[in-house]
Structure 1
Amino acid sequence: MLALPLFIWNFGLFVTGVGAFKVSYELDDRFIDYRKDAKWLVMFYAPWCHHCHKTEPVWEQVAQTFNQQESTLGLRVGKIDATKSTKSAAEFHVKGFPTIKYIQGDQIYSYEGERTREDIEEFAHKAIGPAVRRISALQDLRAAEAKNNVFFIIIEGEKSSGDQRKEYQEVAEELLTSLYFYETDTRLATGNIPLQGWTTIAVYKDGKYFIYDGKKSVKEWVKQERLPGFVKITGGNFYQLVEMKKMVAIAVVDLAPYRNTMNEESKRFFDVLKTISISDREQYYDNFGFGYVDGNEIVNHVFSEWISVPSVVVYDPVKEVYYVSSETPSTVTTQSLRDFLDGILAGSVRGSGGKGWFRKAYRFVYGIAAYFHKMFSTQPILSSILFGLPLGILTIIIVMMYTNDCTEAKEDPDDDDSDHEKED
């Protein structure tokens, strides 16, 4: 009779244990000394951090992937409580939570992408290196094309000079964790990649190869071509777009959670702007980058304004000016958006924002208001306690002070009368 209850109890313990099972290494300040022994992917966290708790299950999945492959990749996955291991937090310049870093001795790379399992694992694979990977077979080239939205490749002939190769190697090492850089020879590239002279540098994006023309340095060209022609904009890559020193045309859409789909109104803006980014690349390449953003949080923060969803906006990072299209889902067409972009270039479309002192003060006030709004919307109970408790105490003190003043005012006439009676 006891067998069934005992089995159920043991099974419950097993399920609970599986849910709580941790495969990442729990590290402390001793990590500073033995970090040179292996390649490490480390998350610095704080126990009270909401984002850290959300990232925890993802981190354990990443740890399960790499710690099982430790013998082949040599990568270990760990985490450090930065509130306890303060020396480690200072050593690795941790300023926020969670902070994810690839650490191998003195070689350190910080992760700035989305906190998803796929993106973090991709970051780790890039960080392991090498900076430039060799492609020796056609199937490897096809695999790279299938795997990556964007990658760079250098093709060298027998009489290639070393100058461009040196520049290519330097930028590959600088952007090691952001992009894949490959190399191959003319034999494999012939018929598959357009060739130009003895040394060809190309970028693969949007299903095509585009050749480096030598008008800019290799580094400048790579940074301009590092993102797809129509990219999903996140907090991590927005400033990569800004570094291109172009205006950024953005479709502000509403993606359904977990399904990555959008309603018809959002899809209309998305499709029209994407069509322009691909079909009119030659016309707008020098002046615009293109992308889309899920929701309006990022653009609201950058513009310090409330932007409606869906819509199309353009941001000029040099002038810090933004333009909002007046088109609606029912009126927007490829031609109407072309007219909007052409009008911005011609100066006939009026923008908002700028670099004046009034605008800076407005952004400061907006930033404070947005911070408190986000704080109360995400953590209403905690925020109410943090702000309500001090205000409540202050209110009680003021009421008590006022009550005492009133009491003293009422008692003074009585005291005077009693003193007068004694004199009589």
Structure 2
Amino acid sequence: MTANKKLFLVSTVSFTVLLNIATASAYVEELDDRFKNTRRADEIWLIEFYAPWCTFCQQLDPVWYEIGAELKSMGSPISVGKVDADVHRSLAKEFRVTDYPAIKLWKDDLKYNYRGPRTKEAIMDFADRVSGPVVRALPSQQLFQNVMSRHDVLFVYVGGTSDLKKYFSAAKELIVHTYFFSATRHILPKAVTLEEYPAVVVFKEGTYFLYNEQQDGELVSWINRERFLSYLTFDSYTLYAMGDTGMTISHTHTPNLEAVYKTLMQRAATEYKDFYSREFQFGHMDGNLYINGIIMDELAMPAIIALNMSNDGYFLPPNKVETMEQLVKFLDAVSKGRIRAPLLGALLFFVFGFVGSTFCFVLYKSCEMVRSRMREEREEAEALQSPGRDKNTETRKNPSEKKAD
């Protein structure tokens, strides 16, 4: 009798799960090649391109159905769909699908590509960000504080409409990565001092930084650098995103040495921001398996490594790094090309850091590489537009001159 009851309970739970999945799937529409001709111009679609044999696609299925159901329950204007790319190859080609699962958002005449973690929260944040206004207004101090509490990095345009066009253009290009806001000077916290208007400000890590065209170069490149925190915990998705800006670092065992590396990375990220923020991104990663796969070698932990995410080249310190002065010398040598890479290929982008039970990094960024990547992304966005649309120094000291303890 007890066994029968248990069997009955298990069967009931299984039935409930199947029913929930079936209910959720009702909010996800299967699309075919006719979709590109039947979609209305004002519709916004979040689409997964999958292949029936793809294991990762199968793992994404329940998450995708949850997203469809939740967006529907929220009254979102976003419709959610799926496309069997093996069958509907014409539609997959239209969206430039090359691997699975591929997640795209189609809004107006642009198709945006999602490259982040395949979690419900991350995908819904992407959908909300891209489907909404490119630049969102902050009309009150209360709303400004609320938004700032929810975002680790906050870009805000302050001033009139004269230069908003350039900011809007940059925001339209980078909306897949981060949110963009605008506000009047009266909305900003009293601690924020702006000497001239209009201005573009990034708020992060309890402080703010101003965009200076002469010092920082193109606005798009500056935003692409500043959208990351100074010091990061890396995973495979973050490193992939760093392909737009950087490189990596590592060294040997002992917990004490690992603590030394982490302290050095954090100091370099903050104290040396003026010297290295345009060239390096600092952070750490747990374990070395992912890095071993990139460099095709076994990396002892903890470690410091400068990794070129554009060509998988990397640099290791020729001597031990246990002081800030030694770290600065290594960074300078990497930046100025005085260290030979174990792998072939010119160093254009670096992430720099160390590996222990944790792996830490710094990202070295080549401005030319950033500009090249930005051009490629702009060309890709233009190529994905619907048919028929007309396409209309401040001198700095060398960081080695800064006192290094």
TM-score with structure 1 setting the length: 0.68
| Compared CA separation, residues 13 and 87, structure 1 to 2 (3 A) | farther
Q: Which amino acid aligns with 2:170?
A: V
Equivalent position SS for 2:99: coil
Residue of structure 1 in register with 2:373 after alignment: none
Question: Deviations 1:248-293 (Å, cap 9, x if unpaired)?
Answer: 344699xxxxxxxxx8876664443123212221232243222323
Matched, 1:354 2:344: yes
Q: Please give the alpha-carbon distance, in whole angstroms, between the structure 1 residues aligned to 2:338 and 2:94.
A: 52
Q: Please give the alpha-carbon distance, in whole angstroms, between the structure 1 residues aligned to 2:65 and 2:325.
A: 48
Equivalent position SS for 1:27: strand
The counterpart of 2:61, out of the listed 35, 51, 56, is 56
| Compared CA separation, residues 103 and 14, structure 1 to 2 (3 A) | farther
Aligned length: 336
Matched, 1:315 2:319: no
Question: Deviations 1:288-343 (Å, cap 9, x if unpaired)?
Answer: 22232344354345434332343110135799752224788xx8455543443345
The counterpart of 2:275, out of the listed 283, 298, 306, is 283
Q: Which amino acid aligns with 1:98?
A: P
Matched, 1:340 2:341: no
Residue of structure 1 in register with 2:39 after alignment: 35
Q: Please give the alpha-carbon distance, in whole angstroms, between the structure 2 residues aligned to 1:101 and 1:252.
A: 39
Q: Please give the alpha-carbon distance, in whole angstroms, between the structure 2 residues aligned to 1:106 and 1:10.
A: 52
Tell me whether 193-202 or 231-240 shows the greater mean CA deviation.
231-240
Structure 2: gaps (5+ residues): 347-405
Residue of structure 2 in register with 1:260 after alignment: none
Q: Please give the alpha-carbon distance, in whole angstroms, between the structure 2 residues aligned to 1:316 and 1:351.
A: 10
Contact 1:154 1:182 in 2 (8 A): yes
Q: Which amino acid aligns with 1:223?
A: N
Q: How does 1:100-179 map to 2 (within 5 A)?
A: 100-104=103-107, 106-156=109-159, 160=160, 162=162, 164-179=163-178
Shift of 1:213: 1.3
Equivalent position SS for 1:93: coil
Contact 1:35 1:105 in 2 (8 A): no
Contact 2:49 2:92 in 1 (8 A): yes
Q: Please give the alpha-carbon distance, in whole angstroms, between the structure 1 residues aligned to 2:310 and 2:109.
A: 35
Shift of 1:137: 1.5
Contact 1:273 1:334 in 2 (8 A): no
Q: Please give the alpha-carbon distance, in whole angstroms, between the structure 2 residues aligned to 1:161 and 1:196.
A: 18
Q: Please give the alpha-carbon distance, in whole angstroms, between the structure 2 residues aligned to 1:26 and 1:17.
A: 23
Contact 2:239 2:309 in 1 (8 A): no
| Compared CA separation, residues 243 and 101, structure 1 to 2 (3 A) | closer
Residue of structure 1 in register with 2:13 after alignment: 15
Question: Deviations 1:54-73 (Å, cap 9, x if unpaired)?
Answer: 2223323323321211x2x2
Contact 1:35 1:104 in 2 (8 A): no
Shift of 1:31: 3.2
Question: Deviations 1:35-70 (Å, cap 9, x if unpaired)?
Answer: 33632212111121111122223323323321211x
Tell me whether 113-122 or 217-226 shows the greater mean CA deviation.
217-226
Residue of structure 2 in register with 1:364 after alignment: none
Shift of 1:234: 4.4
Contact 1:252 1:292 in 2 (8 A): no
Residue of structure 2 in register with 1:47 after alignment: 52
Residue of structure 2 in register with 1:185 after alignment: 184
Q: Please give the alpha-carbon distance, in whole angstroms, between the structure 2 residues aligned to 1:58 and 1:243.
A: 28
Contact 2:249 2:315 in 1 (8 A): no
Q: Please give the alpha-carbon distance, in whole angstroms, between the structure 1 residues aligned to 2:48 and 2:251.
A: 32
Shift of 1:195: 1.2
Residue of structure 2 in register with 1:414 after alignment: none
Residue of structure 2 in register with 1:86 after alignment: 89
Contact 1:153 1:184 in 2 (8 A): yes
Root-mean-square deviation (CA, aligned residues, Å) is 3.4
Q: Please give the alpha-carbon distance, in whole angstroms, between the structure 1 residues aligned to 2:50 and 2:87.
A: 10
Q: Please give the alpha-carbon distance, in whole angstroms, between the structure 1 residues aligned to 2:281 and 2:30.
A: 42
Shift of 1:32: 3.1
| Compared CA separation, residues 34 and 196, structure 1 to 2 (3 A) | farther
Equivalent position SS for 2:213: coil
Q: Which has the higher helix share?
A: 1
Q: Which amino acid aligns with 1:209?
A: Y
Q: Please give the alpha-carbon distance, in whole angstroms, between the structure 2 residues aligned to 1:113 and 1:57.
A: 17
Q: Which amino acid aligns with 1:18?
A: T
* Larger RCO (alpha carbons 8 Å, 6+ apart): 2
